[in-house]
Amino acid sequence: MSGVLLAALLALVLVPRARAAWLGKLDPRQLLGSWYILAVASGEKDFVVEKATKNIEGVVVTLTPENTLKMLSSRHRLERCHLHAVELVKQDSRWVFGNPSLGVLEYRVLGTNFRDYAIVLTQLELQDEAFSTVELYSRTELASQEAMGLFTKWSRSLGFRSQQQAKLQKDLTCAHKVFQLAAAGWPDTHAGLVAWDI
């Protein structure tokens, strides 16, 4: 009985204003491939002002034999597509990845149906600003009602106000650029690139 209680306590991780449950059985290979980012909740200082101009983003996830996640993602910034490549190293405690030297303190999946969608929490520290984001990953360009409901539930439970949440606009240009780059051989052909605009 005490072992079960201890396991339950260890399965919770403290994040700002809420506790995020852990998917201890998640296999990183289930996150591989191309995803659309359809909705975002963010504590970034300029997010509330800029959210109305943000389009659907994309991310492509690969995994090395050493369990390092390689991620190529698009971020829509000031009407440009900002591409970002990062490697995230598996942390000690179950399914958590990060790369503090690049400002990614923690990357984890909060919820998924292991097929169509995933709710992802990232804790960042960039240019002296620390903040968290919750993103809705979807295999398709339209989110299911189940996925949107779970995204909203997690965002609220983690303390994000409604003005800190956004469904991204249905412009797929930036997401498709990421998918095309991945299809052309990333990461091998672009291993030295960390971030660039196109």
Q: Where are the domains of the chain?
A: 22-197
- What pLDDT sits at residue 123? 96
| DSSP string computed for the chain | -HHHHHHHHHTEEEETTEEEE--TT--GGGG-EEEEEEEEEE--TTHHHHGGGPBPEEEEEEE-TTS-EEEEEEEEETTEEEEEEEEEEE-SSSS-EEEGGGTEEEEEEEEE-SSSEEEEEEEEEETTEEEEEEEEEESSSS--HHHHHHHHHHHHHTT--GGGEEEPBS--HHHHHHHHHHHTTTTGGGTT--EEE-
Output the pLDDT for position 127.
Answer: 84
Candidates 38, 56, 25; CA nearest to 147 is 38
pLDDT, greater one: 35 or 22: 35
90, 63 in Cβ contact below 8 A?
no
Point out the least confidently predicted range of 19-28, 29-38, 42-51, 178-187: 19-28
pLDDT band for position 76 (50/70/90)? confident
The span from the CA of 121 to the CA of 110, in Å, is 7
Q: How confident is the model at residue 128 (pLDDT cuts 50, 70, 90)?
A: confident
Q: Please state, in angstroms and rounded to a whole number, the distance separating the CA atoms of residues 100 and 111.
A: 23
Name the residue with higher pLDDT: 14 or 144.
Answer: 144
Per-residue pLDDT tens digits for 29-57: 888 999 999 999 999 999 999 898 889 99
CA atoms of 83 and 181, how far apart (whole Å): 10
Question: Quick one: pLDDT at residue 151?
Answer: 97
How far is residue 87's CA from residue 71's CA, in Å, rounded to a whole number?
Answer: 6
Mean pLDDT of 10-14: 33
Instruction: Give the integer Cα–Cα distance in Å for 13 and 108.
Output: 11
> Which pLDDT does position 20 carry in this prediction?
45
Domain 22-197 in this protein, CATH class: mainly beta
Residue labelled with tokens 């989110």:
143
Given a cut of 90, whether residue 26 has pLDDT beyond it is: no
Res. 148: pLDDT tops 90: yes
pLDDT attached to residue 192: 44
For residue 136, pLDDT beyond 60: yes
Side-chain-side CA neighbours of residue 189 (13 Å): 7
Residue 76 identity: H
Give the predicted TM-score (pTM) of the model: 0.83
Confidence of residue 78 (pLDDT cuts 50, 70, 90): low
> What was the pLDDT predicted at 81?
84
